[in-house]
Structure 1
Amino acid sequence: MLQRVWSWIQNPVGKAGVRPGLVLLYVLAAGWIVAKISDYHVPHFGYTYLIGVGEEPPQGIDWASDRDVVVYRHFRSPGYDAQYYAQIAIDPGLQDPVLAKSIDNLPYRARRILLPWTAYLFGVGQPNWVLNVFALQNLVCWFLLGWLLLRWFPPTDLDRAMRWLGIMLSIGVLFSVFAALVDAPSLLLLALGLKWIETGHPWRATAVLAMGGLAKETNLLGAAGLAPANWKSARGWGMAILQGILVALPFVVWFAILRWRFGDTGGSLAGVRNFSLPFVAFAERWAELASAVVEGNVAWKYLGGGLATHISVTVQAAFLLCWWRWSSAAWRLTVPFAVLALVLGTAVWEGHPGASSRVLLPLLLGFNLLLPKGRRWWALLLLGNLTMFFGPVSLEPRTREIHTVLITNRAEVAEAALPQGELRVDFPRPWHRAESDGDRQWRWSEGDAAIEVFNPYDRPVEVEIRGQWSVHTDRLGQLKQGDTVLWQEHLTRAPTDWRVSGVVLPPGRSELWVTSDQAPAQSNPADPRKLSVRLLKFAVKGRVLD
């Protein structure tokens, strides 16, 4: 037994010529993603940070409170797509009438029912468990995809390792994992279908591709991989057409059910901006990126990801359309996505890096499977996998609170006076969300702003408040409690330390106001916000008064 374990450690993929150094590279990538995901765990909220629930839902309905679930809310944000699928995961039978109001377009979102159902089943129907399962499904799929790709890209040489890393660390895959989207799981199902086509199990491939259509409708294009390797075979085409019908059948039936239940409420029109005439939006994207480079109105961290994505997609699509390999199942399965790239609309290309990095992940798979190996192909290999150099750095770090709170004599307070919670500090509008550069956290205000402090005790709390201020245009800053000026100083770009003692906070809610003598101003062309004062290292330390 020990000998088997040692053999597996030495050669985990069972391939001849495995190089330990490259195995370590794969392991480091896996370790990095686990460490990164763990960083998004928030006490009390679990991994629901990844779902991207906005504090300001576009539909104006507080669905989390309505369903009595614990979910992290992103400050001053409308949220992102996963928040809609997460709601469906709590009720995949679509029985709750509130869904039609809290989801932007229920018939459209509900087409992608597979991942909500798997989250519901593995979360055994318990809403808070379901949400955390939904948030982490992509991580599980990342590992399953990585293991499956070892079939084609074992760690035997640097060429294959680059292809494995190019997929696993691509912007599209990482964006899906860290935003709990459907794209990485959909790619896993396509890759699994391809494996079974190549190993002579077309009916297994048919089943998994049919499942893929319920994960994401564009996965149905992968049914082209079931076409016969000999395109002149009439019998092969007959079987392929039957299998293609079976691949589409679950989606068609589910679409009909949704149409019957919800009628034509916009689901059939959803995504009309996702398509355009061939080459139109594709070319417009090139023009948009060129303009952003010249004008410098987009931060390079984001613009770099957008450029890398469009360069890579262009290389991948051009290669697959020019490298005709009908006999290859990988080519047949992925070349429809090259055609899809040419007709995608503005909604898919816009943004940095844009949804195209996720929508066209099958292109990335096909490109890496089909590009010939050898040194003369390395330049093309790097261009086609350019996003792996931007994927890890494009991830936004989890925002942390900029403040700390310490009550020094809490243990001495009579049991009857102890509250259920702790002294709480909130930063409502017009404060912006917390930001970070890795070492520091801060918040900007866009004008005079209140810091709300809630004292849960039944008696006053005397506190010392300290922190740092800075501004991007010089101004006089003040910290006030009511009409009393607690602190005042001329502020500059350099952070200024400050400390105020003897501030008494009565039971309940209090406000401290941060004001300045100048109007908010734009800091730089790449940031459209008008900002006033930046707060760093805010700390509250005090004692409950007798």
Structure 2
Amino acid sequence: MGLVALPAGRHEGLRLSIRLSAGMIARFESSQMMFKQSRLRLPLTVYLLVATALGWLSLHLDGRFRTETGLVHTFYRETDSASIPLFRRTSRGIDLDFLEDEPSLPRRSFRVQWKGVWHLPEARLIDIYAGGDDRVVVRVDDRVVVARDAARGMHTIAERVALDAGFHRVVVRYEQYGGDFGLNVRWARAGEVPRSFESASIFPERPDAQLKANRRLATLRRVAGAVWLVPPLLFALWVGWPHALRAGRRVFQSWCDRSRLAWRRWRQEGDRPVPWSAEPTARQKRALQFLYVVVVVGFLGAVGQFYRPGTGFTYLIFFGEEFQERTLSTVEAVPHYVHRRGSFGYDGQFYAQLAVAPLLDDPGLQDALDSAPYRARRILFSWTAFALGLGQPGWVLQAYALQNVLCWVILAWLLQRWLPPARFRNFALWFACLFSHGMIVSVQRSLLEGPSMLLIVLGLLALEHRRTIVAAGIVGLSGLGRETNLLVAAALAGSGGWSARARARAFVAAGLVAVPLLLWFAYTYSVYGSLDLEGGGNLTMPLAGLWQYWESTLGELRMVGWASRARYSLLALVSLAVQAGYLIWRVDWDDHWWRVGISYCALMLLLSINVWEGYPGASTRVLLPMAFAFNVLLPQSRYFWLLFVFGNLTVVQSLADLGMPRLV
């Protein structure tokens, strides 16, 4: 049967009608788009004009009225008071760095004075640090706080002063008579890490009339910034969030797939038989078990060196001479070791005193602790020491000093679940966990990280046995020891599926995690009227503290060389970088240890310089769970030793601290 052809005229007419229809649709869509654009043009123009005007006004007023900060810095050629100043200007810090920038200034027989007005928003105990070659005097409100010279000693010491809220006159006078010159003047909130005066709110003169204007300028700056940022962000979220969500999901899924594929390939390559990874014989396994026992016995022997006749193991608590006058009377009456030579001691001395008064009912705690609300939040291991010591102050102090040792031994036993004595590599990883710098410092100074790590391991053990509620209870309890322990709750997420029963269990688990700490916060607030949630400024913008610590460490190594103690900071930074990089690259959401490790990896990015400072500082203790997760997850592959060595460099310092020869 043949097809019937349309007449040419009718065919052309159909084409013409289709073309006309398409043109009309295109013109309609174009007119609709122009209508929408015309509706957006006016609000967009008004927004840009207002935002530009506010930004310009903020910059103009800020440059015109903003109060100058810093100290009046005066330099004299001679040390006598009648000498004429060579210059007088405003500077931010109190140091002698300006001599390097101005070689024409004399290096001997000169005097420098810094004078300013220090504003404190609230009453605080302040530590003033000062030391100098040849003489330095620090006055606050016309009262000498610190004076150092050849007769008194030129090394840096600290004095504590109580300052009310408001303005305080600060004068620092430095004199150089001959020979070398040097100056170190810093300040800190009581018990915290000293910092330069650049971080303080100091003005050349009392700015009473301008404070209100400054507050208004600050408000205007915030409003101008919000006007530029918030509307575009809201518009982008309104228009593009579905597309962004889909794109983000695709990117994340692609990253997970690539990581999983790379991980599988790496494991397959690493699982190839190699001479050193052959299955050990029964004799080799017995030898490894013997090694485990030898390490535990050796550790206990090393701890024995801290015993002192008459005071027992209280050497480990690190009571400092500078805090002795403020110690609780019940602790004062008990024999305990006090570190001399002007030592401020360490944090363990505060938690040990809390162990003697675990209900915060001793009125002397407010003065005995550097920050009573802050320390009282971390009460758990003071309670355990009180229980182990049966409430007797002498026994309580000994129990507090030794509970880190007990936790270390229990951890040595529990870790064999993941790192059994079957291969030498397991032994190396087990050893690296137990002798990581954070773990050993916690033992040596009776801190909270060792017992916290034990609770974290117990929580993960409960999770592996599918005891989610038990694990949540352990995590919630650990939050009373350190708030950061609650990061382990990441291991609980999604562990029970999405059924109604699983959601109910998750709700109960969340309550068990959060409620203990909230209840204790409420009790602490009822006692002290404050929670001190700032935590000593331990958190900051992402990467800010880490970047600053890298800069200071590398700078000190360039100036002093490898003999500087900054080499230990470098070892810690490299180890933490390797641990974090490995955990970021190795994606395994189903693994509880990985969830814990990646949570602390995120915390590492937020730590401020107050946590990083030291040789190394508190970072190795705060991030101890990340070190454990790294070692537990490290694969038995041909890349093992490279990752193992660079991820555990701090073990070198730990062994040296326990009395072994220093390797670096």
Fold equivalence (TM over 0.5)? yes
Q: Name the SS of the counterpart of 1:215 in structure 2.
A: coil
Residue 534 of structure 2 corresponds to: 269
CA distance in 1, matches of 2:294, 2:484: 32
CA distance in 1, matches of 2:631, 2:500: 31
Tell me the alpha carbon deviations over residues 184-224 of structure 1, each in whole angstroms, 9 at most, x when there is no partner.
11011101100110111112211211111111110011011
Q: Quick check: 1:308–1:390 contact (8 Å CA) kept in 2? A: no
Q: Quick check: 1:166–1:387 contact (8 Å CA) kept in 2? A: no
Residue 472 of structure 2 corresponds to: 206
Question: Relative to 1, partners in 2 of residues 1:84 and 1:102: Cα closer, same or farther, differing over 3 Å?
Answer: same
CA distance in 1, matches of 2:497, 2:582: 21
Q: Does 1:52 align with 2:321?
A: no
Question: Relative to 1, partners in 2 of residues 1:187 and 1:127: Cα closer, same or farther, differing over 3 Å?
Answer: same
CA distance in 2, matches of 1:102, 1:62: 5
Matched to 1:145, the amino acid is L
Q: Quick check: 1:107–1:262 contact (8 Å CA) kept in 2? A: yes
Q: Quick check: 2:326–2:368 contact (8 Å CA) kept in 1? A: yes
Q: Quick check: 1:49–1:73 contact (8 Å CA) kept in 2? A: yes
Residue 514 of structure 2 corresponds to: 248
- 2:340 is aligned, of 75, 82, 85, to 75
TM-fit CA distance, 1:305: 2.8
Q: Does 1:351 align with 2:617?
A: no
Output the aligned Cα RMSD. Answer: 2.4
The structure carrying a bigger helix percent of its residues is 2
TM-fit CA distance, 1:230: 7.6
- 1:316 is aligned, of 552, 567, 579, to 579
- 2:557 is aligned, of 293, 300, 306, to 293
Residues 311-460 of structure 1 mapped to structure 2, 5 A cutoff: 311-395=574-658
Matched to 1:49, the amino acid is Y
Tell me the alpha carbon deviations over residues 14-47 of structure 1, each in whole angstroms, 9 at most, x when there is no partner.
x989712322322222122111111111111111
Q: Name the SS of the counterpart of 1:124 in structure 2.
A: coil
Runs of 4+ in structure 1 over 4 Å off: 15-18, 64-67, 229-238, 297-300
- 2:484 is aligned, of 218, 223, 229, to 218
Residue 121 of structure 2 corresponds to: none
Residue 61 of structure 1 corresponds to: 326
Residue 413 of structure 2 corresponds to: 147
Matched to 2:643, the amino acid is L
Q: Quick check: 1:226–1:333 contact (8 Å CA) kept in 2? A: no
Superposition TM-score, scaled by structure 1 size? 0.66
TM-fit CA distance, 1:51: 0.5
- 1:183 is aligned, of 449, 452, 458, to 449
CA distance in 1, matches of 2:331, 2:391: 17
Question: Relative to 1, partners in 2 of residues 1:17 and 1:243: Cα closer, same or farther, differing over 3 Å?
Answer: farther
Matched to 2:554, the amino acid is A
Question: Relative to 1, partners in 2 of residues 1:28 and 1:396: Cα closer, same or farther, differing over 3 Å?
Answer: closer
Tell me the alpha carbon deviations over residues 455-499 of structure 1, each in whole angstroms, 9 at most, x when there is no partner.
xxxxxxxxxxxxxxxxxxxxxxxxxxxxxxxxxxxxxxxxxxxxx
CA distance in 2, matches of 1:100, 1:345: 26
Matched to 1:70, the amino acid is P
Question: Relative to 1, partners in 2 of residues 1:343 and 1:352: Cα closer, same or farther, differing over 3 Å?
Answer: same
TM-fit CA distance, 1:237: 5.3
Which segments of 5 or more consecutive residues in structure 1 lack a partner in the other structure?
Answer: 1-14, 398-436, 439-546
Question: Relative to 1, partners in 2 of residues 1:126 and 1:363: Cα closer, same or farther, differing over 3 Å?
Answer: same
Range with bigger deviation, 247-256 or 373-382 = 373-382
TM-fit CA distance, 1:376: 2.1
Q: Report which structure shows greater RCO (CA 8 Å, sep ≥6).
A: 1
Q: Name the SS of the counterpart of 2:326 in structure 1.
A: coil
Q: Name the SS of the counterpart of 1:386 in structure 2.
A: coil
CA distance in 2, matches of 1:233, 1:292: 56
Range with bigger deviation, 133-142 or 380-389 = 380-389
Q: Quick check: 2:476–2:515 contact (8 Å CA) kept in 1? A: yes
* Residues paired across the two proteins, number: 381
Matched to 2:590, the amino acid is S
Question: Relative to 1, partners in 2 of residues 1:16 and 1:230: Cα closer, same or farther, differing over 3 Å?
Answer: farther
CA distance in 2, matches of 1:248, 1:26: 37
TM-fit CA distance, 1:232: 6.8
CA distance in 1, matches of 2:543, 2:595: 22
TM-fit CA distance, 1:340: 0.2
Q: Does 1:126 align with 2:392?
A: yes
Matched to 1:175, the amino acid is V
Question: Relative to 1, partners in 2 of residues 1:66 and 1:189: Cα closer, same or farther, differing over 3 Å?
Answer: closer
Matched to 2:549, the amino acid is R
Which segments of 5 or more consecutive residues in structure 2 lack a partner in the other structure?
Answer: 1-280
Residue 85 of structure 1 corresponds to: 351
Range with bigger deviation, 175-184 or 225-234 = 225-234
CA distance in 2, matches of 1:216, 1:299: 35
Residue 257 of structure 1 corresponds to: 523
Question: Relative to 1, partners in 2 of residues 1:391 and 1:376: Cα closer, same or farther, differing over 3 Å?
Answer: same
Matched to 2:474, the amino acid is V
Residue 28 of structure 1 corresponds to: 294
Q: Quick check: 2:351–2:382 contact (8 Å CA) kept in 1? A: yes
Residue 546 of structure 2 corresponds to: 282
* Rg larger for: 2
Residue 165 of structure 1 corresponds to: 431
Matched to 1:103, the amino acid is L
